[in-house]
């Protein structure tokens, strides 16, 4: 079945780096744009980044641009988020999500991985 599984979360000190992974299965990964979306404790959803299906373009929310890098390896069916210069306000559950064809919403989500930035 169609599935996304995130990993790589953990506790990290402010200013340090962390890389999240999202393993996709059950669909042709290289045909879909992929997002990272996060949710701080007790808060709403916040879009973080998007990478097009062929990695030709990527886009970021303002608060992470220059610190986070989204990437993908279509040969491994895996999406990544490399986070640098982490701040306390980056503490959240990070979800990867598939962009449906024709921009039909984020139609498949992973279960999320938790990132805690704390000294």
Q: Which residues bind another protein (CB under 8 A)?
A: 35, 37, 44-47, 50, 57, 59, 61, 95, 97, 100, 103-107, 109-112
HEC letters along 21-89: EEEEECCCHHHCCEEEEEECCCCCEEEEEEECCCCCCEEECCCCECCEEEEEECCCCEEEEEECCCCHH
Minimum CB–partner distance for residue 2 and another protein (Å):
12
Nearer to another protein, 8 or 112 (CB): 112
> Cβ closer to another protein: 17 or 31?
31
In angstroms, what is the minimal distance from the CB of 68 to another protein? Answer: 14
Query: Closest separation between CB of residue 14 and another protein, Å?
Result: 25
Cβ distance to another protein smaller for residue 17 or 63? 63
Helix (H) or strand (E) holding 97: strand 92-99
Say which residues have a Cβ less than 8 Å from residue 71's Cβ, sequence separation at least 6: 51, 55, 58, 79, 80, 82
Query: In the complex, what is the shortest distance from the CB of residue 41 to another protein, in angstroms, rounded to a whole number?
Result: 12
Token digits of residue 1: 């079945």
Of 66 and 100, CB closest to another protein: 100
């Amino acid at each position: 079945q169609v599935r996304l599984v995130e990993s790589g979360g953990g506790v990290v000190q402010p200013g340090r780096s962390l890389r999240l992974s999202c393993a996709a299965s059950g669909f042709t990964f290289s045909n879909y744009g992929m997002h990272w979306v996060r949710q701080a404790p007790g808060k709403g959803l916040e879009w973080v980044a998007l990478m097009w299906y062929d990695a030709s373009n990527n886009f970021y929310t303002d608060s992470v641009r220059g610190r986070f890098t989204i990437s993908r390896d279509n040969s491994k069916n895996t999406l990544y988020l490399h986070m640098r210069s982490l701040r306390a306000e980056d503490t959240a559950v990070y979800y990867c999500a598939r962009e449906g064809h024709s921009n039909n919403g984020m139609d498949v989500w992973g279960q999320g991985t938790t990132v805690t930035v704390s000294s």
